[in-house]
Structure 1
Amino acid sequence: MTHRPLVSVIVPAKDQAPYVSDALASLALQFDDPAVLEVLVVDDGSTDGTGELAASFADRLPGLRVLRNESTAGLATARNQGLDAAGGAYIAFLDGDDWLAPGHLAACLDSLRRLDVDFVRTDHVTVEEGRRTLVRAPQARRGTALDPRESILPADARAMVDYPYAWAGLFQRRVAERGLLRFPDGLRTAEDRPWIWRLHLQADSFAVVNAPGVIYRRGVPTSLTQVCDERQLDFLPSFAMIFDLVQTVEDPTLFWPKVARQFCAVACHHLGRDNWPGDLREPLRAGITQALAAMPQEACQGALDTLDAERRAALLPLLPGGPGRFTGSVPAESVPAAPAGVSP
């Protein structure tokens, strides 16, 4: 392309042959003229012909480029590769197994230009076994410019940092030029958690807008959410990055309660999984202990106090110094047994 494209869409895809055609067909329906799109498919070491299928859409998407990794780099690095190659005035993400309703990006672009914010966020629809469910972005104020930092809170309710989906929105190029759209290279899972925290801590403005929709396909066999191996441990360095980010702000005590609640919820989810390989259980538990020790005591206790008895039972034995570390914590002998698969 000899001119700057209007919108660059970054599509990381590994072994997405059954789905990538749906994703690209939907991109051809976003604008009256598909030539305004630059579509960057990052074929991340696929072995099923994903890249070749993507390339077959060149006649319907004149701005299509397929970037090929001979070996798998991971979702975070693949998205960064797309960012490095993107030339558009605006940037969007779409996973290779999802798709967009017709005109979705055009509606996002209209809102982004009208409001002149750094980025817009949208709701999405999940599809699983034929059932569709609307998932709303956790911000009630729609169609107005907002301060991203203010939408990190409240700590005790779902907020925008609990909605880390990169594909649920559209971004000004100026945000990418500040480095705020880059993902932590090498993270194989939970890469979007430090990404969304940095975006909301450092960007200047955003809005939540109504748009036709992102359709998110759940239950895909190749999705990392469906497997349990060492890649799932990447939530630990992911949260370590969030801890570091929060420490750089003027008043970190404002945000620590939210971080602590997020971490405890995710840690309990992993502790409750009964399909962890035996050799990964100890690294999981040791990593959680280390993270709990890194939190301010008040924030950690506040998060523990919000847990139900079963989840608190899973975390208390992992506290550095034992269950009695915090005043007010439930004594170990009065806590119900840990869930199945989680040995204290």
Structure 2
Amino acid sequence: MVTETRHPLLSVVVPVHGVQAHLHQCLDSILDGLDAADAADVELIAVDDASPDRCGELLRAYAARRPAVRTVTLPSNVGLGLARNAGLDEATGRYVWFVDSDDWLPPGSLAAVLRRLRADEPDVLLLDHLRVHHDGRLETDASSPLLRGVDGCVRLADRPQLLRVQHTAWNKVVRRPFLTELGLRFHPGWYEDIPFSHPLLIAAERIAVLDQVCYRYRQGRPGAITSTRSDRHLDAFDQYDRLFGWLAAARPGDARLHAELFALMVSHLLVVVGNDHRMPPELRRAFFRRVAGHYRRYRPAGGYPRPGGVGGLKHRLVAANSYPAYAALRAAHRIAGRLRPAHPVVVEPVSAGPAAVPAAAPGVLAGRR
């Protein structure tokens, strides 16, 4: 008699490196509070990416106590994207969710995700999140309102604004056979989410939205990419080359998508070049020149939806490859910003449901990855 092996509905892949202070909070937030049926439908795959601290030891002890946890130990550090690939290779669930090990899930998030996966059976399930600052302040993402009012499953053609939702892997739960069909993997280098997240939404036939805060995104952790000054931020250009290469092969001649992705690329690269926490001052001019090069390389022949206001002015300065004017504008904008009153603290909502999510504060989009 042959017994059919039952696979879980969801595999949660957690790459781990240098986060021993936050590791247990992350893992507990995934597994705690599930009823027996939900617990049986979840596996957690933690990937020790040659962590230099005690993470490997902590993972082994944790897995010994929790049968739903499997560990993968990498002999050398490969980076976030390739560590996710290693976890994906071990996943057996119908869906996969990539959760970063310095972040965590609010109570009830995983149960809500499982309910939506069972009900809608999407290719991609989009989730809302909150940013958590070191002082405990909570902040919504400027793209969060784009998740409102989506019932059932849609295609990107029905809701094109979904392409502008934060382009990270952790706010998307993906059907694993769909990933296999697309042949999508994470590439090495920083900003590995760029050529992964956009193709998911473009290719999906069934996109569902869980308009609920299901993820807490930690801000300002020492060692995080978004808090590290490095020339590795230049990796973003290779990742955008991969994205536009995929687009040319998968959607040749799609001028609308090309224009939309181009606008997102320029705005994102301008965020990186202007961010003091990421960009070493001595590299800012060279990075700006690279942005101008990508602008010329990928600019749509029929134009694109350039933003208004100061953002649109920065786009025009990139088009002109005018770093001195950009630097002057940036300095003036920073002085004006220091003169404005600080945004008020956002009080943590009592409920994690959609009605409790505060409105997006102006300018939050500037903090995108």
**With structure 1 as the length reference, what TM-score do the two structures score?**
0.82
Displacement after TM superposition at 1:172 (Å): 2.1
Cα root mean square deviation, aligned: 2.9
State, as a whole percentage, how many aligned pairs show the same letter.
26
* Whole-angstrom CA distance in 1 between matches of 2:328 and 2:213: 46
Provide structure 2 residue ranges, at least 5 long, that are not aligned to the other structure: 333-369
Relative CO higher for 1 or 2, CA cutoff 8 Å, sep ≥ 6?
2
* Whole-angstrom CA distance in 1 between matches of 2:34 and 2:16: 23
* Whole-angstrom CA distance in 2 between matches of 1:208 and 1:215: 17
Query: Counterpart in 1 of 2:101?
Result: 96
Change (3 A) 1:301 1:161: closer
Q: Partner amino acid for 1:264? A: V
Map 1:123-272 → 2, pairs under 5 A: 123-128=128-133, 129-135=135-141, 136=144, 138-153=146-161, 159-179=162-182, 182-183=185-186, 185-188=187-190, 190-211=191-212, 213-248=214-249, 249-272=251-274
Q: Partner amino acid for 1:284? A: F
Q: Partner amino acid for 2:177? A: R
Cα deviations by residue, 1:15-65 (Å, 9 ceiling, x for unpaired): 010001001111222521335422111111211111211222225521212
3-state DSSP of counterpart to 2:63: coil
* Whole-angstrom CA distance in 2 between matches of 1:132 and 1:118: 30
* Whole-angstrom CA distance in 1 between matches of 2:170 and 2:123: 15
* Whole-angstrom CA distance in 1 between matches of 2:40 and 2:238: 40
Change (3 A) 1:243 1:280: same
Change (3 A) 1:242 1:173: closer
Query: Counterpart in 2 of 1:326?
Result: none
Change (3 A) 1:301 1:93: closer
Query: Counterpart in 2 of 1:87?
Result: 92
Cα deviations by residue, 1:105-148 (Å, 9 ceiling, x for unpaired): 22212112212221211111221111223443623223311003
* Whole-angstrom CA distance in 2 between matches of 1:289 and 1:105: 42
Cα deviations by residue, 1:190-217 (Å, 9 ceiling, x for unpaired): 2112211110111211111234621221
Query: Counterpart in 1 of 2:58?
Result: 53
* Whole-angstrom CA distance in 1 between matches of 2:328 and 2:255: 33
Q: Partner amino acid for 2:132? A: V
Paired residues, number: 321
Deviation larger for 109-118 or 246-255: 246-255
Change (3 A) 1:281 1:215: closer
Displacement after TM superposition at 1:290 (Å): 2.3
| Alpha carbons 2:150, 2:208 under 8 Å: kept | yes
Change (3 A) 1:336 1:116: closer
Map 1:333-344 → 2, pairs under 5 A: 337-340=328-331
Q: Partner amino acid for 2:109? A: H
| Alpha carbons 2:295, 2:319 under 8 Å: kept | no
* Whole-angstrom CA distance in 1 between matches of 2:304 and 2:182: 34
Change (3 A) 1:307 1:257: farther
* Whole-angstrom CA distance in 1 between matches of 2:312 and 2:213: 41
- The answer on 1:287 being equivalent to 2:262 is no
3-state DSSP of counterpart to 2:21: coil
Cα deviations by residue, 1:247-288 (Å, 9 ceiling, x for unpaired): 231542112321222122122223324574466446424422
Change (3 A) 1:15 1:299: farther
Cα deviations by residue, 1:281-307 (Å, 9 ceiling, x for unpaired): 464244223211212354667537765
3-state DSSP of counterpart to 1:204: coil
1:28 counterpart (23, 27, 31): 31
Provide structure 1 residue ranges, at least 5 long, that are not aligned to the other structure: 154-158, 324-331
